[in-house]
């Protein structure tokens, strides 16, 4: 071995030692308790911070979105777009700090979302939007008042399904009680799922209306005028002030039956009970859900900002344990889709990785260094992490899926820093430098390169903070958490660990000299005879070394660009739940859709039987919905609603407890399903498992008229379906029901009709007229006057009678012309321009998004 390598110049060492006897590092190395005190403070700071950190799915961030909901009963998507959305868009697009305006028109409703720039004052933005909408005077008279609200980010904790041998009304009563109980126990946001809004229907046969020369609108007006609570002033009598109120609001079918409709010339009075059938029911074409036991109602538990997901889930679990004490034994309550489990799993993975990191560090250091040095390096890891956790608490961060991902990555950084400093300290001590000077010199010598490496790592991640929009908000905790870990590691490596290493080396000096370990002899031989000569040759032949490195770099880039090594920007892990979405042709009744949902449930069980050879135990729970599709990255039915749309969701046992993987199960499920006639779309897909929002592939078609755009979307879908690995290819411009366009004739205008009056009477004939609304049991109940369902089912538009201004009944065909057209159930717009999205998902077992 080279003597110069083993015996450094003693005068040079002495000069370096003199120069190092100053500075913060020297203070902590020399002081007997400073390092221990600082370490104790970091641990206490971290323990306190850990107790304050909220555990949740995603980090808290502001969405900066104001939402406008509009309802116009009986209107087509084109009507919503032309009469409401096109009136609102120009008013809100040019509000200060508006980034973009997304609008979607559906049958009977519309949704407008105004996206603002980051750090916008949302209270001012909400006021500006409300003022802009209030200025519009061209809204249809019979549309509902727009509901304007700010969209607040919230995490789902779990879902609860409630079913049993009870009526829908009773199930909803139980669901209300459970929701109230959970809120009283500390949960702040529990929402219903699959419940229908109650209504009271007043069905008046057409013959009765003709005899009395009344219309649906007339009956509605009489009910509205006769059923109302009004203050009637106050009186002062005998020095006592008394309020006077008129209470005539009818809130039940029994009370509504007593409302007077008309007084005959003979003095006889006719009441609603004489001419109408009045009963309680639920809103038509609203969503509901079912499971294997029949009709069910769901509750979704959300974590609001500042709450802890695991604490919220613990509240639910505690309530479930005591449930049977307060409800019938036959009531079936299932908790499923528990998002809080993902937080538990990530925390568990973080602890396991940390423990594995400690074990590897101890193993390596015990082999190459000494046990005492390895111990202090291992102790430094939790100290650095606790310092980072304390700082995260001060900064208002949380323990979520993103920050825990950063903490997992940081394990290697903390270990590397500690190994570099400890190894250099031990090397200097072996060269004959005293323990105090070795610890001091090693810390000061390695400070600059370790700091440079740490700053380089921070610089590589900090640009992530400059990303805007939702993705930037979601992944912002990664650079922050990593930076805090690095800072904690620097403090531990240069202010705390050198003091501990000094003490360890001092005790090692007191021990008797031992023969070198056999491993040290072998390793030193390998280092001196193979590694060092190779390093010297590489340094001597600089050109060859640089050229070889460049060639290896080119080869690495070529492996990626050629597709030999597949690239995936964001790999999504396998999840435990999957969905099946189905849609029939628009106009299909919910009874037909419900049959198909039960078929999806049956075929899922058949797939389970096939794949488990009859043993079962694969599916934990399943629930279906009628009226809307399941949401997810593979959403094929989009976000449209209607009785022709259905979905079924299943939750499998966790991946560690099953051998059957998701892709084979979905394939078998699809093959086992017997599709009913009339189905237009059918797709099975996995739930979203994190990652950037949206679909894997999303292509937008902008500008053309809807018919041309739809043809282009269909052709593009056909082309994309031929790409290997691309699944669930859909567009978001679904065809709607057959439309009949009415155009008022000159004869109709001469009779005194207006287009608006004709449209109102036609709508009342099919959908009814809302007579009143009132609140009862924390719900809004509508009283609707309409024709009997038996008359409207087989009635065509041409058969409708409408009333002239002089109360004469005439056929609709005498005042309008009819034109048939095929409409759309959904129209999407962005910044005032129509657009269609053609999107798909990538089967990760076949290819990657980069290849597609």
pLDDT at residue 570 in the model: 57
Contacts of 690 (CB under 8 A, 6+ apart): 401, 572, 573
pLDDT at position 484 over 90: yes
- Is residue 688 within 8 A of residue 632, CB to CB? The reply is yes
pLDDT at residue 798 in the model: 75
pLDDT at residue 366 in the model: 77
Indicate the pLDDT class of residue 691, thresholds 50, 70 and 90.
very low
3-state helix, strand, coil in the chain (%, to 5): 50, 25, 30
Q: Which CATH class is domain 577-694?
A: alpha beta
- Sign of the torsion formed by the C-alpha atoms of 412, 413, 416 and 419: negative
Give the lowest-confidence range in 523-537, 751-765, 788-802.
788-802
Indicate the pLDDT class of residue 844, thresholds 50, 70 and 90.
low
Neighbours of 259 (CB within 10 A): 21
- Is residue 182 within 8 A of residue 199, CB to CB? The reply is no
pLDDT at residue 632 in the model: 47
Give the lowest-confidence range in 33-47, 92-106, 228-242, 811-825.
228-242
Distance CA 674, CA 685 (A): 17
pLDDT 10s digits, 273-284: 989 999 999 888
pLDDT 10s digits, 634-670: 333 445 677 888 999 999 988 778 888 888 999 999 9
261-270 average pLDDT score? 80
pLDDT 10s digits, 384-418: 889 999 999 999 888 887 888 888 888 777 778 88
pLDDT 10s digits, 753-763: 888 888 888 88
Terminal C-alpha separation, the chain: 57
Q: Please, where are the H alpha helices in 308-339?
A: 309-321
- Is residue 834 within 8 A of residue 828, CB to CB? The reply is yes
Helices (H) and strands (E) in the chain, counts: 29, 31
The residue that leads in pLDDT, 852 or 288, is 288
pLDDT 10s digits, 116-136: 988 888 999 999 999 999 999
438 half-sphere exposure, CB direction, 13 A CA radius: 22
Indicate the pLDDT class of residue 286, thresholds 50, 70 and 90.
confident
pLDDT 10s digits, 703-761: 777 888 888 888 888 888 888 877 778 788 877 777 788 888 888 888 888 888 888 88
Most confidently modeled range among 449-453, 559-563, 575-579, 693-697: 449-453
Q: What percent of the chain has pLDDT over 70?
A: 89
Neighbours of 615 (CB within 10 A): 9
DSSP 123-153: HHHHHHHHHHHHT---S-TTSPPPEEEE---
Q: Kindly report the average pLDDT of the chain as a whole number.
A: 83
439-452 average pLDDT score? 90
pLDDT 10s digits, 556-573: 888 877 767 766 655 566
Neighbours of 733 (CB within 10 A): 26
Architecture of the domain defined by 343-509: Up-down Bundle (1.20)
Query: 109-116 and 65-71 as β-strands: parallel, antiparallel, unpaired?
Result: antiparallel
Angle between helical axes of 309-321 and 340-368 (0-180°, round to 10): 120
pLDDT 10s digits, 300-351: 998 877 788 888 899 999 999 888 788 998 999 999 988 878 778 777 877 7
- Is residue 412 within 8 A of residue 406, CB to CB? The reply is no
pLDDT at residue 248 in the model: 65
Q: What percent of the chain has pLDDT over 90?
A: 27
**What residue segments make up the domains of the chain, in order of their start?**
343-509, 519-553, 577-694
pLDDT at residue 702 in the model: 85
pLDDT at residue 392 in the model: 92
- Is residue 842 within 8 A of residue 694, CB to CB? The reply is no
> What φ, ψ does residue 738 adopt, rounded to 5°?
-65, 130
177 to each of 146, 763, 814, how far by Cα in Å? Answer: 30, 37, 54
pLDDT at position 692 over 70: no
pLDDT at residue 3 in the model: 41
pLDDT at position 12 over 60: no
pLDDT 10s digits, 229-249: 555 555 555 555 555 455 567
pLDDT at position 682 over 50: yes
pLDDT at position 592 over 90: yes
489-513 average pLDDT score? 80
Could you check whether 343-509 and 577-694 share the same CATH topology?
Answer: no
pLDDT at residue 690 in the model: 47
Distance CA 680, CA 677 (A): 9
pLDDT at residue 9 in the model: 52
771-775 average pLDDT score? 85
Give me the residues paired with residue 129 across strands. Answer: none
Give the lowest-confidence range in 11-20, 145-154, 201-210, 261-270.
11-20
Q: Note the pTM of the prediction, 2 decimals.
A: 0.77
231 to each of 124, 228, 244, 255, 497, how far by Cα in Å? Answer: 35, 10, 6, 20, 78
pLDDT at residue 672 in the model: 94
pLDDT at residue 556 in the model: 87
pLDDT at position 851 over 80: no
pLDDT 10s digits, 607-618: 999 999 888 889
pLDDT at residue 13 in the model: 47
pLDDT at residue 633 in the model: 38
Indicate the pLDDT class of residue 147, thresholds 50, 70 and 90.
very high
């Amino acid at each position: 071995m080279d003597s110069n390598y083993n015996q450094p110049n003693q005068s040079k060492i002495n000069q370096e030692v003199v120069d190092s006897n100053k500075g913060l590092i020297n203070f902590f190395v020399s002081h007997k308790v400073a390092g221990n005190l600082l370490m104790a403070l970091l641990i206490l700071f971290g323990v306190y911070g850990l107790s304050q950190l909220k555990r949740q799915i995603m980090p808290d961030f502001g969405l900066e979105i104001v939402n406008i909901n509009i309802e116009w009963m009986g209107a087509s998507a084109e009507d919503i777009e032309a009469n409401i959305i096109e009136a609102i868009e120009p008013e809100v697009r040019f509000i200060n700090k508006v980034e973009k305006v997304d609008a979607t028109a559906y049958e009977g409703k519309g949704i407008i979302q105004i996206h603002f720039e980051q750090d916008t004052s949302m209270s001012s933005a909400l006021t500006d939007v409300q003022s802009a909408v209030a200025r519009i005077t061209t809204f249809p008279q019979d549309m509902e008042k727009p509901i304007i609200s700010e969209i607040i980010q919230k995490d789902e904790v779990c879902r609860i399904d409630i079913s049993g041998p009870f009526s829908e009304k009773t199930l909803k009563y139980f669901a209300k009680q459970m929701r109230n109980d959970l809120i009283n126990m500390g949960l702040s946001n529990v929402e219903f799922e699959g419940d229908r809004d109650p209504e009271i229907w007043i069905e008046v046969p057409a013959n009765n209306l003709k005899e009395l020369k009344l219309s649906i609108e007339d009956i509605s007006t009489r009910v509205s005028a006769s059923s109302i609570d009004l203050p009637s002033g106050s009186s002062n009598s005998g020095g006592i002030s008394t309020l006077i109120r008129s209470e005539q609001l009818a809130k039940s079918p029994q009370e509504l039956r007593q409302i007077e409709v008309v007084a005959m010339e003979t003095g006889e009075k006719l009441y609603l009970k004489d001419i109408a059938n009045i009963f309680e029911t639920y809103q038509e074409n609203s969503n509901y859900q079912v499971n294997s036991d029949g009709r069910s109602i769901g509750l979704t538990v959300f974590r609001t900002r500042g709450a802890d997901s695991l604490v919220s889930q613990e509240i639910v679990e505690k309530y479930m344990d005591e449930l049977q004490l307060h409800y019938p034994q036959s009531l079936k309550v299932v908790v499923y889709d528990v998002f809080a489990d993902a937080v538990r799993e990530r925390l568990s993975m973080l602890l396991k990785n940390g423990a594995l990191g400690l074990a590897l560090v101890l193993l390596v250091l015990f082999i190459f260094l000494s046990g005492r040095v390895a111990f202090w390096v291992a102790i430094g890891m939790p100290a650095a992490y606790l310092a980072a956790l304390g700082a995260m608490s001060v900064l208002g961060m949380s323990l979520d899926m993103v920050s825990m991902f950063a903490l997992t990555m940081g394990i290697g950084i903390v270990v590397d820093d500690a190994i570099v400093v400890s190894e250099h300290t031990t090397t200097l001590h072996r060269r004959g430098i005293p323990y105090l000077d070795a610890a001091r010199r090693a810390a000061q010598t390695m400070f600059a390169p370790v700091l440079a490496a740490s700053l380089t790592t921070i610089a590589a991640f900090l640009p992530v903070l400059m990303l805007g929009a939702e993705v930037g908000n979601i992944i912002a905790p990664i650079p922050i958490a990593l930076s805090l870990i690095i800072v904690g590691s620097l403090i531990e490596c240069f202010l705390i660990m050198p003091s501990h290493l000094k003490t360890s080396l001092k005790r090692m000096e007191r021990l008797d000299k031992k023969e070198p370990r056999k491993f040290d002899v072998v390793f030193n031989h390998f280092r001196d005879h193979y590694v060092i000569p190779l390093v010297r040759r590489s340094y001597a032949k600089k050109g060859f070394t640089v050229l070889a490195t460049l060639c290896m770099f080119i080869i690495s880039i070529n492996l990626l660009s050629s597709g030999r090594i597949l690239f995936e920007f964001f790999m999504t892990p396998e999840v435990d739940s999957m969905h099946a979405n189905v849609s029939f042709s628009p106009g299909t009744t919910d009874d037909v859709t419900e049959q198909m949902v039960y078929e999806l449930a049956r075929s899922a069980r058949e797939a389970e039987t096939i794949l488990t050879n009859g043993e079962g135990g694969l599916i934990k729970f399943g629930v279906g919905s009628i009226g809307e599709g399941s949401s997810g990255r593979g959403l094929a039915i989009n976000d449209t609603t209607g009785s022709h749309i259905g979905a079924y969701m299943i939750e499998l046992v966790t991946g560690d407890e099953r051998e059957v993987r998701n892709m084979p199960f979905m394939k078998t499920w699809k093959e086992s399903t017997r599709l009913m006639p009339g189905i237009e779309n059918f797709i099975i897909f996995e739930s979203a498992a994190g990652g950037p929002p949206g679909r894997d592939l999303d292509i937008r078609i902008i500008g053309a008229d809807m018919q041309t755009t739809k043809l282009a979307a269909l052709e593009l879908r056909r082309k994309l379906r031929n790409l290997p690995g691309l699944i669930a290819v859909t567009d978001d411009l679904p065809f709607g029901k057959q439309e009949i366009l009415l155009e008022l004739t000159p004869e109709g205008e001469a009779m005194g009709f207006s287009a608006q009056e004709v449209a109102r009477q036609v709508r009342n004939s099919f959908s009814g007229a809302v007579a009143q609304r009132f609140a009862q049991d924390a719900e809004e109940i509508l009283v609707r006057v309409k024709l009997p369902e038996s008359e409207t089912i087989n009635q065509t538009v041409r058969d409708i009678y409408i009333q002239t201004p002089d109360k004469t009944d005439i056929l609709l065909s005498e005042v309008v012309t009819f034109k048939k057209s095929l409409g759309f159930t959904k129209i999407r717009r962005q910044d005032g321009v129509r657009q269609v999205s053609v999107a798909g998902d990538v089967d990760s077992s076949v290819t990657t998004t980069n290849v597609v």
